[in-house]
Chains A and B, each alone.
Chain A
Amino acid sequence: MLKKISKLPFTGTPEQEAQLQAIIASVDGDKSLLMHVMQKAQGIYGYLPFEVQAIIAEGMNIPLEHIYGVSTFYAQFALAPKGKYNISVCLGTACYVKGAQDILDKVTEELGIISGECTADGQFSIEACRCIGACGLAPVMMINDDVYGTLTPAQIPAILEKYRNA
């Protein structure tokens, strides 16, 4: 799946950059540790926007395109920030046959963003995930650590409303 590149403004702090620079310094020019650095960077910023990848490119002397290529190859890297509430809709086999696509479509429609994106106010992000081990409750979605099972699309607006007002 093609990853969406976030258009939200970058809000990184000098403290975050100092942390990232320390990680880069710790690998001592070993380019084979690129993915390690990218994972740590994502841990610091939550995602890997242009500004963060550019710092890694400069610091590790690796072409930015190469880093971007890695970040779009592996599912674990995000190009958009997670919202305050991250919604994971399970598209694993059991959930899928029980209509998870309709759930995802409804969430998408309600929030006006697609999977991999974050709302402009930073409140919600959506991701389609694989089995979260709750097949008995299919179809399942998680909002941060809260699990919602045996869902129907009609329930979605009310669930989202709870978080909007939280």
Chain B
Amino acid sequence: METVNIKINNMAASVPAGSTILEAARTIGIEIPTLCYLKEINEIGACRICMVEVKGARSLVTACVFPVTEGMEVFTNTEKVRKSRKLTLELILSTHDRRCLSCVRSGNCELQALCKEFGVDDEAHFAGENPRYDFDDSAAHMVRDNNRCILCRRCVAACQQQDCAVIGANARGFNTHIGSAFEKDLADVSCVSCGQCIVNCPTGALSEKDDTDKVLAAINDPEKYVIVHTAPSIRATLGEAFGLKLGTNVQGKMVAALRRLGFDKVFDTDFAADLTIMEEANELIERVTNGGVLPMITSCSPGWVKYCEHYFPQLIPHLSSCKSPQQMFGAVIKSWYAEKNGIDPAKIVCVGVMPCTAKKFENKRDGQNATGYPDVDIAITTRELARMIDSAGIYFKHLADEEFDNPLGEASGAGVIFGATGGVMEAALRTAVETLTGEELRSLDFTEVRGTKGIKEASYQVGDLTVNVCAASGLQNARKVLEEIAAGTSKYHFIEIMACPGGCVNGGGQPVQHAVVRNFVDLRGARAKALYEADAASAVRKSHENPAIKQLYAEYLGEPGSHKAHELLHTHYTARPKYK
């Protein structure tokens, strides 16, 4: 590797040629603050917080995009640099809604943290007349508040990376604001609800629609039987909100916290992930053996499903008709579970804790109320759960581990890996291969579809059939795979698509990690590792061997793909226009 020799703050360093000053500084333990910078996604040098002095340069330069050259001398912490950063912050604050106390991101705001770091002592230093913006709370999943926006454009870059680009910078100068085409509301454009803009926002300008009040109201209503279930990835991320190390599996503490919050039953969405596999594997086998539409594409990611409906409506027949695990769970709770336990489904409130903002859209879709009641009444994100735990005075870190309730707390290792890209594929293969060949798999690890790469592909020999599979995450990657299908050149039989890059572990509802973490730590990998470890440690690692699943089919559903299963667990999709 070609290197160049530079000096940063008088310390000599040899760094790879082509590095930026920001990257070079990190290699010798010097952190330069950033705000607009998102590695590989938003490298625009716009916010000017990362300014450093370079010997011989005419003015300060932006460390995030300025490449190092041989012999360069950089100073990251001079009087001039500190003054510039403070001034930049004061200017940003001049148009910022500075009511931090009531902001959802207070305490976890990148702007707030920088103001503290650089000693901003008068947040209204340049106060003056400002444009005021109305909230946009038109969408089911989120609220946009441009008064808190600092125009870093990280959301714009994230939306573009998700191949939607429904938000961007409109107008110019003082009137510049982030919005949609023709100032349309978010609900009226082809936003897929993935929430990647939210997790990439440094301030409180973007946030999930908070449904915690609804959950608390249900818990406090003695008439209601409130059931909560947590998606596979929540156990791998919730701890971050309480200062635990990235990738800590907090399943036991999470269950304990949910009981203390007052839920009547605490179940595991992983059970429904296993159920999804039963139905999806069956659907795949049907399609392969009966000449159905191939490739079949998974349908558990509601952001992906909405993307398909807006951008590739002609490919809807490729989508599996299976509901997502969240919705299957609700349907089973309000039918089998309610009947078995003599509970009136009208009194059940089913709450899903999801890594995902699109789940708030999904549970309100048509065809998601199999029993006549909504399958899932309320979907909250990991962040909302963390806030509920906080405000209930639960000392999360010190909780003793507890177990899920049964039987719907019982799940296989296949269910838990749903939270990482490739996980659904691997889980489905474990069941489909054994079902098709009638033989037990020697190894359950389909490592080719693991990892955080955007598109992963593999071929497996199943009996005399070669099955070509693909797992794509992030919607730009999805587009590549979909364009092949549309052109008729796709070689795959089965495709897993997750809207969010890296899958649910990096979902739009997950705890916010500041850009400095997102840029330099493998967030997706660290979170996913916790799920693969949980799978490896599971006694049951195949969905079809989950005893609770067997019981459900034996007592209630009959066979996968049965009439009853179709009634409860399958749904339909609809082409959606790009603009209303």
Total A-B pairs, Cβ < 8 A: 45
Q: Which residues of B are found within 8 Å of A3, using beta-carbon distances?
A: 171
The answer, among A1, A2, A65, for a CB contact under 8 Å with B181, is: A65
Q: Are A50 and B168 in touch, CB under 8 angstroms? A: no
User: Does A112 interact with chain B (Cβ within 8 Å)?
Assistant: no
Known contacts A64-B578, A64-B579, A65-B180; A72 and B166 CB within 8 A of each other: no
Q: Are A1 and B175 in touch, CB under 8 angstroms? A: yes
User: Does A66 interact with chain B (Cβ within 8 Å)?
Assistant: yes
Give the number of residues in A that approach B within 8 Å (Cβ atoms).
Answer: 16
Compute how far the CA of A72 lies from the CA of B175 in the bound complex, rounded to whole angstroms: 10
Bitwise, B450-478 to A at CB < 8 A (1) or not (0) is 00000000000000000000000000000
Give the number of residues in B that approach A within 8 Å (Cβ atoms).
Answer: 18
User: Does A9 interact with chain B (Cβ within 8 Å)?
Assistant: no
Compute how far the CA of A68 lies from the CA of B189 in the bound complex, rounded to whole angstroms: 13
Q: How far is the CB of B526 from chain A (nearest CB, A)?
A: 32
Bitwise, B102-123 to A at CB < 8 A (1) or not (0) is 0000000000000000000000
CB-CB nearest in chain A for B166: A65
Compute how far the CA of A65 lies from the CA of B182 in the bound complex, rounded to whole angstroms: 8
- List residues 142-176 of chain B with CB under 8 A from any CB of chain A: 160, 164-172, 175
Interface of B, helix, strand, loop or mixed by DSSP: mixed
User: Does B555 interact with chain A (Cβ within 8 Å)?
Assistant: no
User: Does B129 interact with chain A (Cβ within 8 Å)?
Assistant: no
CB-CB nearest in chain A for B177: A2
Known contacts A63-B165, A63-B166; A68 and B181 CB within 8 A of each other: yes
User: Does B183 interact with chain A (Cβ within 8 Å)?
Assistant: yes
- List residues 412-465 of chain B with CB under 8 A from any CB of chain A: none
- List residues 40-99 of chain A with CB under 8 A from any CB of chain B: 50, 53-54, 63-69, 72-73
Q: Are B175 and A66 in touch, CB under 8 angstroms? A: no
Q: Are A5 and B182 in touch, CB under 8 angstroms? A: yes
Compute how far the CA of A155 lies from the CA of B160 in the bound complex, rounded to whole angstroms: 52
Compute how far the CA of A64 lies from the CA of B168 in the bound complex, rounded to whole angstroms: 10
Q: Are A69 and B182 in touch, CB under 8 angstroms? A: no
Q: Are A73 and B579 in touch, CB under 8 angstroms? A: no
Q: Are B168 and A66 in touch, CB under 8 angstroms? A: yes
CB-CB nearest in chain A for B183: A5
Compute how far the CA of A18 lies from the CA of B164 in the bound complex, rounded to whole angstroms: 28
Q: Are B180 and A72 in touch, CB under 8 angstroms? A: no
Q: Are A65 and B167 in touch, CB under 8 angstroms? A: yes
Known contacts A5-B182, A64-B579; A69 and B169 CB within 8 A of each other: yes
Q: Are A72 and B578 in touch, CB under 8 angstroms? A: no
Q: Are B183 and A73 in touch, CB under 8 angstroms? A: no
Q: How far is the CB of A34 from chain B (nearest CB, A)?
A: 13
Known contacts A5-B182, A64-B578, A65-B181; A73 and B168 CB within 8 A of each other: no
Q: Which residues of B are found within 8 Å of A64, using beta-carbon distances?
A: 181, 578-579
Q: A50-B579, A68-B180 are in contact. List 20 more A-B contacts (CB 8 A).
A: A5-B182, A5-B183, A53-B181, A53-B182, A63-B160, A63-B164, A63-B165, A63-B166, A63-B181, A64-B579, A65-B166, A65-B180, A65-B181, A65-B189, A68-B181, A68-B182, A72-B172, A73-B169, A73-B171, A73-B172
> Closest 3 A-B residue pairs measured CB to CB?
A63-B165, A68-B181, A64-B181
B contact set with A: CB distance below 8 Å: 160, 164-172, 175, 180-183, 189, 578-579
A contact set with B: CB distance below 8 Å: 1-3, 5, 50, 53-54, 63-69, 72-73
* 7 interchain pairs, CB-CB under 8 A: A5-B183, A53-B182, A63-B165, A65-B168, A68-B168, A68-B182, A73-B172
